Structure 1
Amino acid sequence: MCGIVGIISSKRAPLGRYMIKMLASLQHRGEDSAGVAMYWDKKYAKRDEFIIRMLTKDVIGSAGKISTAIANSGGNIRKIRLHPIEGYSFDRYVVKISEENLESLSEEVRNTRVSEVLSIGRWMEIVKDTGWVKNLDSKFNVSDWVSTHGIGHVRFSTESEVDLLHAHPFQSFGYPDMAVVENGQITNYYKVRRKLEKRGHKFYTENDAELIVHYVADLLEEGNSLEEALSKSVYDLDGPFTYIISTATEVGVVRDKLGLRPGVIL
């Protein structure tokens, strides 16, 4: 049992405020973690620069290891904003790097054993926190964010761990600016995952939402439209589920064939 929300506007608007209000109204559906993926106005972004959010252990030498990892993947750090939280730092980097090197960057950072990449996007930024929605807002000031669209999640964990790595939203690092939040369960998870892994997709958790975002990314890379990919997911993914997906320009919602996890569009 989780709560998921999505919102989109025809222009930049104070959507962070509405996102927090919507998530707070669904707080009863999950108190383990909360997270949002929000999108900035595309005209302010540069094609070769990416906003990267990393969760880093508060240990001596971690910053140097991350800088080396970014350089090893062909990246050039342009800006850093540190954001310390209990025992960790949820830091925001702006990195100049080619898109084909993003997965390599994620792997290089992971291999440092002091940090994990949680978000990569030209226009998208993901923030997460364990606990209540109000904690997320107080740490990241989401209510003040002005954006064009976004998705959010409150989590009640039924299977995987309760930490920031397993909190929603999820994304596929090889396909930036796309994120997923989900409520439900994919019962043919391992069957679909094995197929995607054979096609080169890398998994960092056993969370269903991560499977969905890789699945959709794979179809988009084959030339499908978002609508086509979402339609196929209804037949390829089994179980009771509803998910919301966002890209740089669109927000979509999908529910399972039986409608066991309802979704409301206003």
Structure 2
Amino acid sequence: MCGIIGILGKSPVASLLFDGLKRLEYRGYDSAGIATLVDGRIDRRRAEGKLGNLEKLLSSEPLSGTTGIGHTRWATHGRPNEVNAHPHATEKVAVVHNGIIENFQELRDELRAAGHVFVTETDTETVAHLLTHYLDHGKTPEEAMSMAMTRLQGAFSLAILFAGRPDLMIGARRGSPLAIGYGNGEMYLGSDAMALAPFTSRICYLMEDDWAVITPEGATIYNQDRLVNREVKQTALSGALIGKGNYRHFMMKEIAEQPAVIGDTLQVFLNPLERRIELPAMPFDFAKLSRLTIVACGTAYLAGFVAKYWFEQIARLPVEIDVASEFRYRTAPLPPDGATLVISQSGETADTLAALRYAKSEGNKIIAVVNVPESTIAREADVVLQTLAGPEIGVASTKAFTTQLVVLATLAIAAARARGAIDAKREGELSGALIEVPARVSEVLNHDQRLKEIALKVAEARDVLFLGRGTSYPIALEGALKLKEISYIHAEGYAAGEMKHGPIALIDEEVPVIVVAPYDDLFDKTASNLQEVRARGGRVVFFSDAEGVAKLGGDAMAAVTLPKVDPFVAPILYAVPVQLLAYHAAVAKGTDVDQPRNLAKSVTVE
């Protein structure tokens, strides 16, 4: 959500700032802008909409200057237009900001009474005027920032320029990530390492309530006015990692990468020779755990929903699962002998991070499944299980979801073994099923053309239903989520057995019904629901293996035969065709697949 890039350079930085914003497009945005110091004076270029609009503006009105900041904005306070686009500035200060200033109205009223004139609807402009107010009263930029940190409330990361100071940039972080990049006589600021990858591999991540004074020679970091040291790390990220290759969209590239990244992730947690799960040391004994609480948002929540079935069925471990945005406000009582599992692709999801901190305050140990090991959630967890999905640029999660499932599957097996719910032989069987998944996913990708043909029919619908039972129920929910978020078709996922309790009223000849039904112990139950759909004229798209398709495929508008796998790993496999279906439907409708409207990749505010 939103993106920040800042450069203290030796040569003009506008084009470099723009390139940095391009690398941050994956986070989602609705306007963008750049500010530099030109002969000590703040100059800006801002545009509503996609970066192409800003690029045209920079072409017709070039921006010089060797010090600058840039921003891609996803609107929170104020409409998404040029006036509200960042950077926000006074004659003395320019600011870009991720997050929300919760007390901006109070500060705005106070500053307006002191004579400040506001021209936007944003909370960010308040920061620029607050710093200007302190400068007007004789404070240095460093003193002004120190004072501002005591006044600002909320979650934010800030990059700030000061007129007449091309040798200075200040960054600050509270609840929203910010990284400093170290170059050779040049310095950088960015929302994440992705923005800084082409410039430097030496990265320092600011911690909570840090603010940094950055000059061409380095950075001095403070926390509550105390000088602090933060480790400078080498990052493996490369700008080359974010190209589309031969694919039309990042989303399709990332779907196609799943066999490789699933395999990479498995190699970390599974010994293929001994068919045994090998996890890092846990901060608790699974055998003594009374309950596992799983908390996440969006697609990560649905990965946790699948894991709930696995932990309860295989490990016989009671699981409570909740969306983080609800959990954090429920003040749910957590057993002292329980643990909490949080899942987040970015490791910065605001609601999930708040849930983590609440669970910690209740005495729970924290397991984090994240894709970014340097993230805030990773740093605050007791143990981190990393997904090796690599950078995921498309807003709609694909490879992050399936690698989350892989990690959660290995964790469930380990828990089951520790609790005595399975023996070594069964651990070997389940591990063997996981080992086969990358190859089976490759086989599913071979159905791409068939799924594209089906998607052309689905794209014509106004409403679509997805049905599944057992672990296929969360996959039905995920299929509906994917379809609605990138194609804008209204879609809902239901437990197949719940269809007769309401959703069946929606079914007619115009409503495609996507049925996720591997041939397992629940197949016959799902089959009866499919017949109920058919009896009401519903157009069924049927995903099953050869045995399932042989039994029911003839009753469907379309059927896709997927490889036969152990039911334990079926949800990982069946996630792929629902991704492809959504992708091709969105392409058919001509939507912005990688950056769907109103959505952001990393949700770092409530």
CA distance in 2, matches of 1:218, 1:196: 8
CA distance in 2, matches of 1:27, 1:6: 16
| Letter in structure 1 aligned against 2:128 | V
Corresponding residue of 1:170: 88
Report the CA distance between 1:20 and its aligned residue.
0.9
User: 2:8 aligned with 1:8, yes or no?
Assistant: yes
Q: Does structure 2 conserve the Cα–Cα contact (< 8 Å) formed by 1:2 and 1:154?
A: yes
Spell out, residue by residue over 1:148-168, the C-alpha distance to the aligned partner (whole angstroms, 9 max, x if none): 201111011123111111111
Report the CA distance between 1:232 and its aligned residue.
1.6
| Letter in structure 2 aligned against 1:243 | L
Question: Which of these residues, 21, 26, 42, is aligned with residue 19 of structure 2?
Answer: 21
Spell out, residue by residue over 1:187-214, the C-alpha distance to the aligned partner (whole angstroms, 9 max, x if none): 1111111111111111122311100000
Q: Does structure 2 conserve the Cα–Cα contact (< 8 Å) formed by 1:14 and 1:144?
A: no
Q: Does structure 2 conserve the Cα–Cα contact (< 8 Å) formed by 1:18 and 1:143?
A: no
Runs of 5+ consecutive residues of structure 1 not aligned to the other structure: 43-122
TM-score (norm 2): 0.28
CA distance in 2, matches of 1:189, 1:28: 28
Q: Does structure 1 conserve the Cα–Cα contact (< 8 Å) formed by 2:30 and 2:72?
A: yes
CA distance in 1, matches of 2:37, 2:59: 15
| Alignment root-mean-square deviation, CA | 1.8
Q: What secondary structure does 1:218 align onto?
A: helix
Spell out, residue by residue over 1:206-239, the C-alpha distance to the aligned partner (whole angstroms, 9 max, x if none): 3111000000000011111111111122211100
User: 2:159 aligned with 1:161, yes or no?
Assistant: no
Question: Which of these residues, 108, 125, 128, is aligned with residue 193 of structure 1?
Answer: 108
Report the CA distance between 1:145 and its aligned residue.
4.3
Q: What secondary structure does 1:224 align onto?
A: coil
Q: Does structure 1 conserve the Cα–Cα contact (< 8 Å) formed by 2:93 and 2:131?
A: no
CA distance in 1, matches of 2:25, 2:6: 15
CA distance in 1, matches of 2:147, 2:111: 15
Corresponding residue of 1:34: 32
CA distance in 2, matches of 1:165, 1:198: 22
Corresponding residue of 1:223: 138
Within a 5 Å distance, the mapping from 1:1-266 to structure 2 comes to: 1-9=1-9, 11=10, 13-42=11-40, 123-141=41-59, 145-172=63-90, 176-248=91-163, 249=165, 250-256=168-174, 260-266=175-181
| Letter in structure 2 aligned against 1:187 | E
Alpha-carbon distance change, 242 to 142 in structure 1, aligned in 2, over 3 angstroms: farther
Report the CA distance between 1:143 and its aligned residue.
11
Between Structure 1 and Structure 2, how many residues are aligned?
A: 178
CA distance in 1, matches of 2:22, 2:61: 12
Report the CA distance between 1:144 and its aligned residue.
6.3
Alpha-carbon distance change, 148 to 177 in structure 1, aligned in 2, over 3 angstroms: farther
CA distance in 2, matches of 1:188, 1:177: 22
Report the CA distance between 1:124 and its aligned residue.
2.3
CA distance in 1, matches of 2:176, 2:161: 19
TM-score (norm 1): 0.63
Q: What secondary structure does 2:119 align onto?
A: coil
Q: What secondary structure does 1:265 align onto?
A: strand
The structure with the greater share of residues assigned to strand is 1
| Letter in structure 1 aligned against 2:73 | R
Q: What secondary structure does 1:163 align onto?
A: coil
CA distance in 2, matches of 1:20, 1:206: 25
| Letter in structure 2 aligned against 1:156 | W
Runs of 5+ consecutive residues of structure 2 not aligned to the other structure: 182-606
CA distance in 2, matches of 1:124, 1:200: 21
Q: Does structure 1 conserve the Cα–Cα contact (< 8 Å) formed by 2:157 and 2:172?
A: yes
Report the CA distance between 1:178 and its aligned residue.
2.2
Report the CA distance between 1:41 and its aligned residue.
3.7
Q: Does structure 1 conserve the Cα–Cα contact (< 8 Å) formed by 2:160 and 2:169?
A: yes
CA distance in 2, matches of 1:3, 1:229: 24
Q: Does structure 2 conserve the Cα–Cα contact (< 8 Å) formed by 1:34 and 1:154?
A: yes
Percentage of identical aligned residues = 35
CA distance in 2, matches of 1:261, 1:36: 20
CA distance in 2, matches of 1:197, 1:143: 32
Q: Does structure 2 conserve the Cα–Cα contact (< 8 Å) formed by 1:17 and 1:142?
A: no
- 179-188 vs 28-37, greater mean Cα deviation: 28-37
Alpha-carbon distance change, 265 to 142 in structure 1, aligned in 2, over 3 angstroms: farther
Alpha-carbon distance change, 14 to 227 in structure 1, aligned in 2, over 3 angstroms: same
Q: What secondary structure does 1:157 align onto?
A: coil
Report the CA distance between 1:244 and its aligned residue.
0.9
Alpha-carbon distance change, 33 to 157 in structure 1, aligned in 2, over 3 angstroms: same
Task: Give every structure 1 segment of 4 or more consecutive aligned residues whose post-TM-superposition deviation is greater than 3 Å.
Answer: 142-146
CA distance in 2, matches of 1:177, 1:148: 17
Report the CA distance between 1:142 and its aligned residue.
8.5
CA distance in 1, matches of 2:127, 2:77: 16
CA distance in 2, matches of 1:225, 1:128: 28
